[in-house]
A and B are shown apart, each in its own frame.
Chain A
Amino acid sequence: DTEVTQTPKHLVMGMTNKKSLKCEQHMGHRAMYWYKQKAKKPPELMFVYSYEKLSINESVPSRFSPECPNSSLLNLHLHALQPEDSALYLCASSQDRGPGYWQPQHFGDGTRLSIL
């Protein structure tokens, strides 16, 4: 069992739909991440939140909109996606500062997204 929970596990949506991916952790981590992973490829960083503030945006198209409502939750809002956006979307968390800064990121099992 992972300590980072992502919902839904699978999502199929049309290019005109609006949907959201959700991520939750209760480890007290103050850094949270969204990654995109294509099959047999490494995860690609999309966004980083540090203390609920967006600290890194890796030039992601505006059809992806992240939100961090509190220190335990991270959302990714999706709108007008393209077929090439089909991928596994992974959420991760880690300690942000202090002695635990170099601790690893903890990953959820992801949401498998398919765009029709």
Chain B
Amino acid sequence: AQSVAQPEDQVNVAEGNPLTVKCTYSVSGNPYLFWYVQYPNRGLQFLLKYITGDNLVKGSYGFEAEFNKSQTSFHLKKPSALVSDSALYFCAVRDGRNNDMRFGAGTRLTVKP
């Protein structure tokens, strides 16, 4: 079965510093990977996806993610964190056999001024 893992429950960074939120995947076949962000009392908002092609994927709000096949990772990154980036981040994988989307446990990012 397709799955993703987010090894960190919580990530704390100072404003202006680079941030990384980690995700590893386990899939059979080609991986279809996504990052979503969730702000309090809101639904999930799509940030970026990897389907095929370049290993560095650029997304919304200055976020990017690096697909690494050898390490089976898809880490989310941003060069300079903002306080407003504080939220819950989910990595997800799409099952190619159906419409299912499987989410990681989530990582709470806190950016301190």
Contact = CB atoms under 8 A, between A and B. Distances in A.
Contacts of A74: none
Interface residues of B, number: 23
B43 A110 contact: yes
B100 A56 contact: yes
Contact of B99 (A50, A90, A108): A50
A52 to B, nearest CB: 13
B27 interface: no
B70 interface: no
B49 A42 contact: no
Interface in B58-78: none
Contacts, number: 60
Nearest to B32: A102
Nearest to A49: B99
B99 A42 contact: no
B103 interface: yes
A31 B103 contact: no
Interface string B34-49: 1010000111111001
Contacts of B99: 31, 33, 48, 50, 55-56, 94, 96
B43 A40 contact: no
A107 B43 contact: yes
Interface string A86-115: 000010101010000011111111101000
Contacts of B94: 102
B64 to A, nearest CB: 16
Contacts of B41: 109, 112
B88 A102 contact: no
A33 to B, nearest CB: 7
B101 interface: yes
Interface of B: 32, 34, 36, 41-46, 49, 51, 88, 90, 94, 98-101, 103-106, 108
Given A33-B99, A107-B43, A107-B45, 14 more contacts: A2-B43, A31-B99, A42-B104, A43-B90, A48-B99, A55-B98, A90-B44, A92-B43, A92-B44, A102-B32, A102-B51, A104-B34, A105-B46, A109-B41
